[in-house]
Structure 1
Amino acid sequence: MFGQLGYLISESFRGWKQHRTVILPSLLTIFLCSLLLTSSFTALGVSFKLISVEKSLYVVEAFLSEDVPEDSIPVIKTRLEHTRHVESVSFVSADSALADFRNHFSADMLDLVEGNPIPAFFRVSLSKEARNPLDLSEVRHAIAEESYFEEVQAPIKWASRIASWKFKMVFWPICVSILLLITLSLIICNSVRLSLMSRKLLVENMKYAGGSYLFIEFPFVLEGAAQGFVGSSAAILLLGLMIKSVVKMFPIVATGVEYFLIVALFTVFLETILAGYFSFRTVRSFLFEKKGEQD
């Protein structure tokens, strides 16, 4: 049994040398398609990351004037909670705002001013149904009309951009990924088909000698799966080095590609399985055709 397995494995890799004029162009094409496919999956992951943080954009920050008495804060908070489209309201004191600023930015920025330059403010979150740029703008204008607020801020431009790009950010990477998977399948099928034609006599002799379908199919399935694995692995290695260089230059990009390793492993696994499966289908169809011709 182990002798047969060794022969089948050696036969599958012998084809790489004997049929390199077929295998090498196929590997190069798989490599290029894998590079684009992994890039598409990575872009899709970044899109989902942006969509997941989109809800954090639908927040209005209303900064209190310095002359607002502290005992009026509960009244203002209640008033804000009754504003249309508002889900929750939280009060951030000046000291808490300063501590949060120090955690996220350099303390050197505060050395140029005396005291605490950051005023107390209310953080107003919109309800789930109102998470759109139009309602965000409406709530911001409604709060800005109140006299006890010095400044009212909301990321309306960013919310508008993500809302307008959301469909495209998901739709196009999915379309490109499906197209590339179809292209990869056709490339692998064609490569295995050419390899079969060049080894037609060997396959027929194995069949006449009583070889089972599994015995005949195994070398070709392993050969196809190896092509998918090598091509996709090389593409992911190159893309990983490119992303590493980009992250070094622009560290902010790291949050968008934090799932690259998962995407890479998924791509290699997917392409190896697809390559093996379509190789199996191609060889099985070839054997059934020959059986039909004999009948």
Structure 2
Amino acid sequence: MSANHQSHTKRRLISSYFTTIISISLVLFMLGILGLILLNTQQISNHVKENIGFSIILKGEIKDVDINQIKKTLDAETYVKATHFIHPDSAAADLKRDLGEDFISFLGYNPLLPSIDVKLNADYANTDSLSIIEADLLNNPNIKEVIYQKDLVSLVNQNVKKISFYMLAFSGLLLFIATALINNTIRLSIYSKRFLIKTMQLVGARHSFIRRPFVLQGIGNGIVSAFIAISLIIVVLYYFQQQYPELIDFRNFELYGALFLIMIILGILISWISTNLAVRKYLRIQTGDLY
């Protein structure tokens, strides 16, 4: 009977240990994912902004040499990320495919003009910069007009600012929830050992002596959980780097190193504080209240 009881107790302790580790790991993993998003907010924002661009509509009688000159001038500008010349025939083929009709046969000629699509660097993806760029480009006699969606540019910039604010607020909330979850997990783990704590106290062990093994185990759990969470984060990073290489840069070792260090510190700190508080609670409680 005693052997069965010991075996059952051992299984419960092992189960409690793994439950604690998994719970803390998942919470730290969520915090790590949020940290990744926050650390890459600027890069994500730049990626979105750099998909904003404009089209330069050239005059129909423009010569190839003038087109090349305009394109070279644009490529040398600091606000330009990339340019792409679109020949009227290519534009007509694309439009024909989209419409599903041969509009050239109907009209008898190709009404489309040559154009250059320009992608902007993120710092210039705003209405003020675009207005200045547009005015400068229209001084060129070979450029007929500059087309871009002003409302879309304003909307993107406004949404980027809003998302950044909401992410910071959500980070604070998630950190609070994560701390509460880890605290509850550790308290449940300590609860299963409350009789052991009280027994040690009754035989005269000092509070610091009783707390020490629990605190050390809590810190160990925090470290193990942090490394498990970091391993999961690395897997996620690798996946997204394969899917979106422009968003994830593995060369930024300092950034990711700082994130992983923060995760380890959080795992240790929250586990240490929660374990201390939980053990202290059962040291102060009366024996009759343990049941």
TM-score by length of 2: 0.58
For the pair 1:238 / 2:232, whether they are aligned, the reply is yes
Q: Give the C-alpha shift of residue 269 in structure 1.
A: 1.7
In the alignment, which of 22, 27, 43 is matched to residue 28 of structure 1?
Answer: 22
CA distance in 1, matches of 2:211, 2:234: 34
Instruction: Give the letter for the 2:127 counterpart.
Output: L
Q: Give the C-alpha shift of residue 265 in structure 1.
A: 2.2
For 1:141-188, what per-residue CA distance to the aligned partner results, in whole angstroms no more than 9, with x for missing partners?
433443457486989688545412323432343344333333332333
Given that 2:27 and 2:182 are in contact with CA atoms closer than 8 Å, whether structure 1 keeps it comes out as no
For the pair 1:285 / 2:286, whether they are aligned, the reply is no
Q: Give the C-alpha shift of residue 252 in structure 1.
A: 1.9
Corresponding residue number in structure 1 for 2:266? 270
CA distance in 2, matches of 1:159, 1:46: 21
Corresponding residue number in structure 1 for 2:161? 167
CA distance in 2, matches of 1:268, 1:251: 27
Corresponding residue number in structure 2 for 1:84? none
Corresponding residue number in structure 1 for 2:40? 46
CA distance in 1, matches of 2:163, 2:150: 19
Q: Give the C-alpha shift of residue 52 in structure 1.
A: 7.8
Q: Give the C-alpha shift of residue 221 in structure 1.
A: 1.8
CA distance in 2, matches of 1:233, 1:254: 21
Can you give the 5+ residue segments of structure 1 that lack an aligned partner in the other structure?
1-14, 68-91, 106-122
Q: How many residues align?
A: 230
Q: Give the C-alpha shift of residue 280 in structure 1.
A: 1.2
In the alignment, which of 131, 141, 148 is matched to residue 138 of structure 1?
Answer: 131
- Taking a change above 3 Å as real, the CA distance of residues 43 and 95 of structure 1, as seen in their structure-2 partners, is closer
Instruction: Give the letter for the 1:278 counterpart.
Output: S
Q: Give the C-alpha shift of residue 283 in structure 1.
A: 1.9
CA distance in 1, matches of 2:132, 2:201: 76
**Identity of paired residues, percent?**
19
Runs of 4+ that moved beyond 6 A = 52-60, 151-158
Instruction: Give the letter for the 1:41 counterpart.
Output: G
Q: Give the C-alpha shift of residue 56 in structure 1.
A: 9.4
- Taking a change above 3 Å as real, the CA distance of residues 137 and 273 of structure 1, as seen in their structure-2 partners, is same
Map residues 44-193 of structure 1 onto 2, 5 A cutoff: 44-50=38-44, 133-147=126-140, 150=143, 160=154, 162-193=156-187
Q: Give the C-alpha shift of residue 220 in structure 1.
A: 1.9
Given that 1:46 and 1:256 are in contact with CA atoms closer than 8 Å, whether structure 2 keeps it comes out as no
- Taking a change above 3 Å as real, the CA distance of residues 40 and 208 of structure 1, as seen in their structure-2 partners, is same
Q: CA RMSD in A?
A: 4.7
Given that 1:136 and 1:154 are in contact with CA atoms closer than 8 Å, whether structure 2 keeps it comes out as no
For 1:25-83, what per-residue CA distance to the aligned partner results, in whole angstroms no more than 9, with x for missing partners?
333222222222111110111113456899999999x9xx999xxxxxxxxxxxxxxxx
Instruction: Give the letter for the 2:136 counterpart.
Output: I
